[in-house]
Chain A
Amino acid sequence: MTGPRSAPAPVAVTPPSEAQTVILAQQGEAEALDALARSCRQQAYVFALQLIGHPDDALDVAQDAMVRFFRSLGRFDPSRPVRPWLLRIVRNLVRDRARRLRVRRTESLEPDDDALRFEPRDDAPDPEALASRRELQALVWTCLQKLHPRYREVLVLRDYQDLSYADIATTLKIPRGTVMSRLHRARRLLQEEVRKHRSGTGEARDG
Chain B
Amino acid sequence: MADRCPASFDEALISGHLDGELTQAAEQKVRVHLADCEHCAVVLDELRALRKATMSTEFHSPDDSQWDERPQSGLSLMARGTGWLIAIVWAVFFAGFALWHFWQESANLVERLLVFGGLSALALLFISVLVDRLQAARTDPYREVEK
Please list the residues of chain A having a beta carbon within 8 angstroms of any beta carbon in chain B.
1-7, 41-42, 45-46, 49-50, 55, 59-60, 63-64, 67-68, 70-72, 75, 88-89, 92-93, 95, 99, 103, 114-119, 133, 136-137, 140-141, 144, 155, 158-160, 162, 164-165, 173, 180-181, 183-185, 187-188, 190-191, 194
Asked if B46 contacts A5 (CB within 8 A), the reply is: no
**Residues of chain A contacted by B74 (CB below 8 angstroms):** 67, 70-71
B124 interface residue per 8 A CB criterion? no
22 residue pairs of the A-B complex, CB under 8 angstroms, read A1-B60, A2-B61, A2-B63, A3-B58, A5-B58, A5-B59, A7-B57, A50-B59, A55-B60, A67-B71, A70-B73, A72-B147, A93-B147, A103-B129, A133-B56, A159-B51, A173-B142, A183-B19, A184-B15, A188-B43, A190-B50, A191-B47
Q: How large is the interface on B (under 10, 10 to 19, 20 to 34, 35 or more residues)?
A: 35 or more
B54 interface hit (Cβ, 8 Å): yes
Question: Is the pair B54, A159 in contact by a Cβ cutoff of 8 Å?
Answer: yes
Within 8 A of A (CB), among B44-83: 46-47, 49-51, 53-63, 66-67, 70-71, 73-74, 77
How far does the Cβ of B147 sit from chain A's closest Cβ, in whole Å?
5
Whether the Cβ atoms of A160 and B62 lie closer than 8 Å is no
Which B residues lie within 8 Å of A7 (CB)? 54-57
Counting chain A CB atoms within 10 Å of each CB, the highest count among B12, B70, B74, B142 belongs to B12
Is B38's beta carbon under 8 Å from chain A? no
Interchain CA distance A3-B58 in the complex, whole Å: 9
B contacts, CB < 8 Å to A: 11-16, 19, 21, 43, 46-47, 49-51, 53-63, 66-67, 70-71, 73-74, 77, 129, 132-133, 136, 142, 145-147
Q: Is the interface of A mostly helix, strand, loop or mixed?
A: helix
A92 B145 Cβ-Cβ under 8 A? yes
Q: Which chain A residue has the least Cβ–Cβ distance from B146?
A: A72
Question: Which listed residue (B15, B61, B142) contacts A3, Cβ 8 A?
Answer: B61
Contacting pair B53 A137 (CB below 8 A): yes
For B136, list chain A residues within 8 Å (CB): 99
Q: Report the minimum CB–CB distance from A81 to chain B (whole Å).
A: 15
User: Smallest distance from the beta carbon of A91 to chain B beta carbons, Å?
Assistant: 9
Contact B59–A6 (Cβ < 8 Å): yes
What's the nearest-Cβ distance from chain B to residue A148, in Å? 16
> Looking at the complex, which one of B14, B16, B61, B145 makes contact with A1 (CB distance below 8 Å)?
B61
- Which single residue of chain B is at the shortest CB-CB distance from A181? B12
Asked if A117 contacts B59 (CB within 8 A), the reply is: yes
**Contacts of A133 on B, CB cut-off 8 Å?**
53, 56
Q: Are A117 and B58 in contact (CB under 8 A)?
A: yes
Contact call A63/B46, Cβ cutoff below 8 A: no
Asked if B62 contacts A3 (CB within 8 A), the reply is yes
Residues of A within 8 A of B133 (CB): 103
Q: For A67, what are the chain B residues with a Cβ–Cβ distance below 8 Å?
A: 71, 73-74, 77
Known: A180-B21, A194-B50. A68 touches B62 (CB 8 A): no
The reply to whether A75 and B142 contact each other, CB–CB distance below 8 Å, is: no
Distance between Cα atoms of A187 and B43 in the complex (Å): 10
Residues on A with C-beta less than 8 A from B16 are 165, 180, 184
